[in-house]
Amino acid sequence: MQPAEYTKAVGAGATATTDQEDGWTEIIEPRTRLLDLRLKDVWRYRDLVMLFVRRDFVSTYKQTVLGPIWFFIQPLLTTVTYMIVFGGIAKIPTDGLPQLPFYLAGITVWNYFAQTLTATSTVFTANAAIFGKVYFPRLTLPLSIVLSNLVRFGIQFGLFLVAWGYYLMREDSLHPNIYILLTPALLALMGLLSLGLGMIFSAMTTKYRDLAMLLTFGVQLLMYATPVIYPLSQLPVKYKVFIIANPLSPIVETFRFAFLGSGSFSWLYLGYSTAITMVILLVGTLIFNKVEKSFTDTV
């Protein structure tokens, strides 16, 4: 089978000066072209992505009594805590909305971002042992993280919908609107943004471990720079600029506006978020792609 292919290759090559110049299925060289993402490879390994997602779920909740119920407990307890601390004690206004759906909306969206970012940013360091022994497209791991967090988000989103439905029927403080249809786009933006940032961090931490330190509390600080626990409308003008400059703000704000009906929505801000996300995603992919080839030497 192979020899036939080979003769064909040589025969077809007009410039067959050197032997067998054609027909190589792969060439390993020092540096790849900048944009060679090997997406075909990733597609071939799609089963692996799904298996990684499965591994994440099975291994996280094995030997826990409550199992997947933890998916609900975590956001619920956080919401209650926020209601007490920020709503009850600090008395931060919620745009006239009931506290529970207000915080829960913010937390659900924020969790998706924060968890994806934290997990992707340790991809290289956490999997150094595997990466050092076997080649598979490295991009499969961050992709699997985005996906498994998407499932997690789905579950928590269900919880939010239950609470949302309850308030919708009991009171008439919530005013959902047509922008709900934007939800998939918002999710995609969140996912891609966290993926892009995560890849930048994971690639850089292979050499400079300092970034890992920065990230753990950086994510926490970033939450305060995003309208998760406060509505954008309540901000003094001098801070507002900075908060809006954060590409996450319009996403969280739009989500809340669509489902709860208060707050603000602006195509301009959302467009800005999208642009920033694309830039970060591009930079992230480039850096990740460059580092994946030789990170085993520095990690």
Partner 1 sequence: MSTVAIKVEGLGKLYRLGEIGTGTLSHDLNRAWARLRGKEDPFAIIGETNDRTTKGTSDFVWSLKNVDFEVKQGEVLGIIGRNGAGKSTLLKILSKVTAPTTGSVKVRGRIASLLEVGTGFHPELTGRENIFLNGAILGMTKAEIRSKFDEIVDFSGVERYIDTPVKRYSSGMYVRLAFAVAAFLEPEILIIDEVLAVGDAEFQKKCLGRMKDVSVNDGRTVLFVSHNMDAVRSLCNRAILMQQGMVNMIGPVADVVSKYYEGIKVNMVSEFEIDTQKPSIKSIVLDAELLKNGILSLNIQYISPVKLRPPIAGFVLYNALDVPVFGSNARYHTYEHEPISESEGVLAVLIKNIELHTGLYKISVWLGDGSVDYDAKLEAIVFEYFSDRIYPVKPDPLTIGAIDKVATWKHYEQ
Q: Which residues here bind partner 1, judged by CB under 8 A?
A: 2-3, 6, 19-20, 23-31, 44-45, 47-48, 50-52, 54-55, 58-59, 62-63, 129-136, 207-208, 293-294, 296-298
Identity of the residue, 53 or 186, whose beta carbon is nearer to partner 1 in the bound complex:
53
CB 122, min distance to partner 1, A? 16
Q: How far is the CB of 131 from partner 1 (least distance, A)?
A: 7
DSSP calls for 143-182 = HHHHHHHHHHHHHHHHHHHHHHHHHHHH-S-----GGGGG
Nearest to 114 by CA among 145, 73, 79: 145
Residue closer to partner 1 (CB basis): 20 or 234: 20
Q: Is 90 helix (H, G, I), strand (E, B) or coil?
A: coil
Residue partners of 109: CB distance under 8 A and separation at least 6: 186, 190, 228, 251, 252, 255
Least Cβ distance, residue 220 to partner 1 (angstroms): 27
Minimum distance from residue 45 beta carbon to partner 1 (Å): 7
Cα(248)–Cα(110) distance, integer angstroms: 9
Q: In which residue are the tokens 């900075």 written?
A: 242
The DSSP output letter for 297 is: G
Record the tokens describing residue 209, joined without a space: 């471990």
Residue whose CB is less far from partner 1, 140 or 277: 140
Measured in whole angstroms, how far is the alpha carbon of residue 187 from the centre of its chain? 9
Residue 132 has which token pair?
Answer: 């050092």
Nearest residue (CB) to partner 1, 17 versus 59: 59
Neighbouring residues of 93: CB distance < 8 A, sequence distance ≥ 6: 230, 231, 234
Cβ distance to partner 1 smaller for residue 65 or 237? 65
- Please identify, using beta-carbon distances, which residue of 17 and 63 lies nearer to partner 1: 63
Whole-number Å distance between alpha carbons of 181 and 25: 45
In the complex with partner 1, the residue whose CB is nearer, 234 or 294, is 294
What count of other Cβ atoms lies within 10 Å of the Cβ of residue 229? 19
Distance of closest approach, residue 44 Cβ to partner 1, in angstroms: 8
Report, in Å, the least distance between residue 27 CB and partner 1: 5
Cβ 62 to partner 1 shortest distance, Å: 5
Taking the CA atoms of residue 7, residue 10, residue 14 and residue 17 in that order, the dihedral angle to the nearest 10 degrees is: -140
